Amino acid sequence: MGLDRLSMKTLQSATGCDLPKYDVAKVVPGIAHLGVGAFHRAHQAVYVDDCLAAGETEWGIVGASLRSADTRDALSPQDGLYTLAVQDASGERLRVIGSLRALLVAPENPAALVARMADPATRIVTLTVTEKAYLRNAAGDLDLANPDVAADITGLSNPRTVHGFLVAALVERRRTGVPPFTVLCCDNLPSNGETVRRLVLQFAEAVDPELSRYIEQEVAFPSTMVDRIVPATTDEDRARVSATIGLDDAWPVKTEPFMQWVVEDRFTLGRPAWERSGVTMVSDVRPFEDMKLRLLNGAHSGLSYLGLLCGRESVSEAFTDPAIRSFVDRLWAEAIPTLPKNAGLDPDAYTAALAERFSNPALVHRTAQIANDGSQKLPQRILATARTRLSEGGPVTHLMLAVAAWITCCEARGEALPSGHFTDPLDRDLGAIFAGKHSAEEAVRRIFAVAGFDAVTGEAGEGLVKTVARHLENIRQKGAQAAIELASQEGVN
Ligand code: CS2
């Protein structure tokens, strides 16, 4: 017999899980969130759930998907409720989250999302739309040639892009005399608030320069550092969680025990008392962000690409491979000296904790999932680190091996790796470069140009191209294991 669906009506009959410690029906939405994927549901929505439990009932979330209807289709019949599964060696702990109070699908009704964002009750707009949704060109500026950007600039009434939605809603608030919301970017971008602000201003400037000045003066874009490892949910997870709670949950999320959120405290219309639920409120998030992007995400990308080349399917499997583990240690040794000094960071404790997290035997985090969108991730995870490291005269061997492994993985799809194993917004350009059968150096040079890596590496670019090309040759001629071994012989000092 089939299970009843998880919903407000059935919630109290759930078993083997914690339930919301507040009256979900009484929650009022105060946050509009764009990009209501698994990460958001295992991170911000949990912090907000804690605030709701503490009595701050005016901070519920309206979650919008900018593309697919999947999350809305799964969660609307559940009244937005879903199960969070926290996994480690000791097992799995389940908790039903109630902070997501409504779900929208932007392409179905863009005006409804703009109206929600423009509603005076909405005081913060948060974003986890992934790196590629910011539609930056190779120079890192807003890609005005992108058809969606161009369409939004000429007609703001039915936006498609994240910039279009933010600007359309800010215009509407201004028109109706409602002060602007705070824009809180929660994506893994460098200085993410400042980056989104710059892109939004470029967008607004193209619509109307006066609008751009208004946003510049009136809208706050605090930066944040977000951290929690959230692998994609599988059908097995759905079945296991549903069986435990005794109700059918179409889309639970799974994650690790660790969670961290560091937020710059600049909110023009108030905010939840997040500090009470473990959020670190600061005036400058950059040191935390550099440490996270360069040590966690940099290692994640490097070990995933090398892991894929060595047949390792998950992060924990890759990380326990001695060759890859030693690669990660050496990558960390290259990256740690680039972190801000005197900022109170403790990189040794941080990497020790990362080693534990990457080894989590219960959490199956697929290397192919992390491999997605490398062209959008490597600039802030690896290349910015290399630029700083070179300016200080240190080697960048293992950082550049990560880039060579990315290129090899991209090229190997359809051959050593399944086609479509992961995707990248630059796939078409990359495919054309691979089809050209260039020398390793020429291929790397072209990839650096098309991916905008040149813009990040600046004068160091030519040297980096040569180092990546050398690793690429090693991988092509001798295989990934041998390339790791050869890199390790170069040392880190
Ligand atoms: C990962 C991140 O998929 C990826 O690229 O590196 O999603 C990572 O798991 C999170 O940033 C952890 O906070």
8 Å CB contact between 78 and 7 = yes
Token pair for 268: 């023009």
Tokens of 351: 């990497």
Give the per-residue pLDDT at 368: 98
Give percent of the chain above pLDDT 90. 96
Pairing of strands 82-88, 91-97: antiparallel
Among protein residues, the one with the nearest Cα to ligand 1's atom 3 is: 370
pLDDT for 462 equals 87
Question: Distance, CA 377 to ligand 1 centroid (Å)?
Answer: 10
| CATH number attached to the domain at 290-489 | 1.10.1040.10
Q: Report how far ligand 1's centroid is from the alpha carbon of 378 (Å).
A: 12
292 lines ligand 1 (CB under 6 A): no
Longest dimension (CA), the chain: 67
Nearest 5°: phi and psi at 440? -55, -45
pLDDT in tens, 167-194: 999 999 999 999 999 999 999 999 999 9
Question: Mean of the per-residue pLDDT values for the chain?
Answer: 97
Q: What is the pLDDT of residue 458?
A: 84
pTM comes to 0.97
pLDDT of residue 491: 59
pLDDT of residue 50: 98
pLDDT of the residue at 461: 84
Task: Give 459's pLDDT tier (boundaries 50, 70, 90).
Answer: confident
Return the CATH number of the domain spanning residue range 11-282.
Answer: 3.40.50.720
pLDDT tens, residue by residue, 384-429 = 999 999 999 999 999 999 999 999 999 999 999 999 999 999 999 9
Question: Comparing 11-282 with 290-489, is the CATH topology the same?
Answer: no
Reported as a pLDDT band with limits 50, 70 and 90, residue 493 is very low
Our answer on whether the CB atom of 188 is closer than 6 Å to any ligand 1 atom is: yes
Domain boundaries, the chain: 11-282, 290-489
* Band of residue 33 on the pLDDT scale cut at 50, 70, 90: very high
Average pLDDT of span 359-386:
97
Q: Mean of the pLDDT values across residues 86-100?
A: 97
What does the alpha-carbon distance between residue 9 and residue 76 come to, in Å, rounded to a whole number? 13
- Supply the residue whose CA is at minimum distance from atom 9 of ligand 1: 229
State in Å: Cα 369 to ligand 1 middle: 9
Among 292, 300, 363, 409, which is best to mutate for testing ligand 1, by the most ligand atoms less than 8 A from CB? 300
For residues 62 and 116, the answer to whether their CB atoms sit within 8 Å is yes
Q: Is the CB of 131 under 6 A from ligand 1?
A: no
The minimum-distance atom of ligand 1 relative to the CA of 370 is 3
Average pLDDT over residues 154-163: 96
Q: Which amino acid is at 402?
A: A
The owner of tokens 């600007």 is 167
Query: What's the mean pLDDT in 203-209?
Result: 98
- The response to whether residue 219 sits with its C-beta less than 6 Å from ligand 1 reads no
Q: Is the pLDDT of residue 492 over 60?
A: no
Distance, in Å, from the CA atom of 93 to the CA atom of 396, rounded to the nearest integer, reads 41
